[in-house]
Amino acid sequence: MKGQNRLRWLQRGEHKHTRKQQGNSLWAGKIIALSHFISKQSQAVSIMRNTFSLPGLQMQNKLLWLLLWIVQVTALSTALAVPQLEPRIDQAQAAHLSAEVLTRHHYKQMSLNDALSSVIFDNYLKTLDSEKIFFLQSDINLFSPTRTSLDDAILHEDLRIPYTIFNRYQLSVEERIAYARTLLNKGFNFKEHESYQYNRKSAAWPQSEQELNDLWRKRVKNDWLRLKLAGKDDKAIRDTLNKRYDKMLSGLSKINGDDVFQYFMNAYTTAIDPHTSYFGKRAAEEFDISMKLSLVGIGAVLQEKDEYTVIRELVAGGPALLSGKFKAGDRIVGVGQGKDGAIVDVMGWRIDDTVALIRGAEDSVVLIDVLAAEAGPDGQHKVIPLVRKKISLDKQAAKKSIIEVKDGNTTRRIGVISLPGFYQDFAAHQKGDKNFKSATRDVSRLLEELKKENVDSVLMDLRNNGGGSLAEAIELTGLFIDKGPVVQQRDSAGDISVESDTQPGLAWDGPLGVLINRASASASEIFAAAIQDYGRGIIIGEPSFGKGTVQSVIDLDQLVKNKTPEFGELKMTIAQFFRINGGTTQLRGVIPDISFPSQIDSRDFGESSYDNALPWTQIKAADYTPAGNLSDIIPLLKTIHDSRVSKDKDFQYLSEDIAEANIERKKNLISLNEADRRKERDEQEARIKLHGNNKSSTASNVAAREDDGLQSNERNLDSDLAFEKAQKSAKDVFLNEAAHILSDEVGLLQKDARLSINVLPKAALH
């Protein structure tokens, strides 16, 4: 999470570095070390200096040993179809600089030592092979001598160890794909009674080649059976799986050194805490786009399919749609710059590389070489010039709707505001742009519209809202309270500050509800917790994620005064936040006043699923005055809710579906016997038919697509888009029930003046 402003790193004195053309890359001379304090009004950086020594002999011996082993294994294997990757000098320097920042200024202030190196080692292997289907235990044993050398690799600017491990991973993937292809020619016996463990994150590494082969035999057998049950014949199945393996190899070949560096750096950052991460240049750009909800481009949502960059969707108001010359399914095969620029062939490119060519300066010209959706591979191309414009990502912005709830002869209107994230265009705000994009500004506008539409209550839908700007969480809370503290922060020095809404008045003073689920995190939890602590609204849904930490983004290039991007950015935990009642959302999340069934096991998803999450704790409560007291009305609402859902078939069916999904997930086994699988499929279809196919968009099997055995990038685009449309139009059982709860509240408040006095803020009592 970002703080109210991005940290501004100010340099005093001089910093310079030189690069060696051969051997290890080292900081020559002096390197910046940082100290800073963060307060409500200012952030400051003081510069210290340090000098670092050459790599020790022990690390070099381990590294040389590992390199010799890899060379030997590779020589005994078939030639790699993908290039071997090597670290760059600037990456090693970025890793070292990141270590200086993280060691001194992270909230946990952890030393980069052998103990942390061991965690980095495990994280890196999880990143590469999380399901333990490529490496053998013998591979892990051979890597193990370097387990405690990754700290030295970072500090001595020698990143050959993680790159060498990655190159061995590439070889393992190729070996596995080659083995999988041999299985396609043999076929399978689906009368045998055996099972496949599809989630292997907690499994041990395969002990032998035979064990790994058997694991892949079951994996391929399951893929084959899924396609067979979907009605494909043997030839079609072989073709589909061979193409899938081709795509795996193609994807592997497109991984570059920047990707490997980011894998390794995030193995390091998440070893400190789950929410610290490293952004390379491209990842930093995407993060900025997600916060400001805008970019400069042509207004097309793209996807990679069969080595093409395919237009999935055209953005309303974007140059591509306004031109009238593009449609979903068209393939971009080339990109040129300027009216007379040469066309660069992008066939087979990574989609982010193609996107980088398409984006550019506002009002500049880009040439798009297009192969129409209906054309064959040798069809006629069209080169279409477009002028790049600023594209607003409105689909990710706040939206409103109204749900009408009937209660006898009364119809109540519940205004719903769906907020996917707490976004803010920081750059535009800092430049003084009066129309800068922000979640609070959008929600404020929507509230005014809902008031004009005479809604009786407002529901903030924060499901799947992973957070965003801390400032936005505070300001958004201010729309629903008069003024006062919203959240407390404790920094690494133990100093506590209180962040408050200072603007008097409320944008909405009527009944309020907040709908959350397990994926509601960070800023969502700050908002929901504040609303709950003030007694301002009813919290409905599942316990939230449990993220109680604050992150800020540090631009490493700005830190060392680089004129061009080189080192990337760190999103680093700088504080822990606490509720105004003194508790924290850390680990436990926000507990709803009225709970819905949860489809997620807290051991699999959420803060409590992380081994190195900060513990739950509490501090002194802030000085605040509750806006309302819901203690009397919540039990009444629970009773009405329980009675209604006990008779609501949609809610009961959804609860049954969630319970069934939880049972299946815990089993973590799937039969590879065709008769058993057909029986399971028939039972599933019968249950769907019984339920009338009334699925909720919150359920794990929402608008359940019949299993076609395909992966997402193998499906027909029209089919995918139709499925997405069906998902959006599916009945949202949880949203509807939340609206009914708020309607119940309005009814109770209208009948009981005492409840109204307790529940509603004084501004609402006329």
C-alpha 278/C-alpha 265 separation (Å) is: 6
Domain 394-552+580-628 has CATH 3.90.226.10: yes
Q: Given pLDDT bands bounded at 50, 70 and 90, which one contains residue 389?
A: very high
pLDDT tens for 658-696 read 888 888 888 889 999 999 999 988 888 887 777 765 444
Q: Does an H or E element contain 43, and which?
A: strand 43-50
Give mean pLDDT, residues 566-591. Answer: 95
With b meaning 16 or more CB within 10 Å and e meaning fewer, what string describes 42-62? Answer: ebebebeeeeeeebeeebbeb
C-alpha 262/C-alpha 242 separation (Å) is: 30
Q: Domain limits of the chain?
A: 53-272, 294-392, 394-552+580-628
pLDDT tens for 704-743 read 567 888 887 888 888 888 887 887 778 899 999 999 999 9
Choice among 137-141, 168-172, 310-314, 434-438 with the minimum mean pLDDT: 434-438
Check pLDDT > 60 for residue 63. Answer: no
Give the residue from 346, 347, 348 showing the smallest Cα distance to 357. Answer: 346
C-alpha 595/C-alpha 485 separation (Å) is: 27
Choice among 221-230, 396-405, 616-625, 754-763 with the minimum mean pLDDT: 754-763
- What's the pLDDT at 295? 87
Q: In the numeric block, which tokens belong to residue 282?
A: 């491209």
- Distance between first and last Cα of the chain: 39
The phi and psi torsions of 663 (rounded to 5 degrees) equal: -65, -45
pLDDT tens for 288-316 read 888 887 889 999 999 998 889 999 999 98
pLDDT tens for 622-663 read 999 999 999 999 999 999 999 999 999 889 988 888 888 888
- What's the pLDDT at 763? 54
Q: What CATH number is given for 294-392 in this structure?
A: 2.30.42.10
- What's the pLDDT at 717? 82
Active-site positions read: 522, 533, 547
For tokens 């849904």, what's the residue? Answer: 541
Check pLDDT > 50 for residue 17. Answer: no
Q: What percent of the chain has pLDDT over 70?
A: 87
Check pLDDT > 60 for residue 35. Answer: no
Instruction: Indicate the average pLDDT of the chain.
Output: 86
Give the residue from 246, 361, 233, 258 showing the smallest Cα distance to 306. Answer: 246
Choice among 230-239, 256-265, 397-406, 421-430 with the minimum mean pLDDT: 421-430
Selected residue with higher pLDDT from 666 and 102: 102
Q: Does an H or E element contain 137, and which?
A: helix 137-143
Strands 389-392 and 365-371: unpaired
Q: In the numeric block, which tokens belong to residue 512?
A: 């309020």
| DSSP tag of 401 | E
pLDDT tens for 360-369 read 999 999 999 9
pLDDT tens for 459-517 read 999 999 999 999 999 999 999 999 999 999 999 999 999 999 999 999 999 999 999 99
Helix runs in 405-489, H state only: 426-430, 439-452, 470-478
pLDDT tens for 111-145 read 999 999 999 999 999 999 999 999 999 999 999 99
Check pLDDT > 70 for residue 433. Answer: yes
Of the ranges 54-58, 89-93, 349-353, the best mean pLDDT one:
89-93
User: Could you give the 3-state DSSP secondary structure of residue 485?
Assistant: strand
At CA 76, angle to CA 74 and CA 77, rounded to 5? Answer: 65
For tokens 């080659």, what's the residue? Answer: 178
Q: In the numeric block, which tokens belong to residue 752?
A: 């009981």
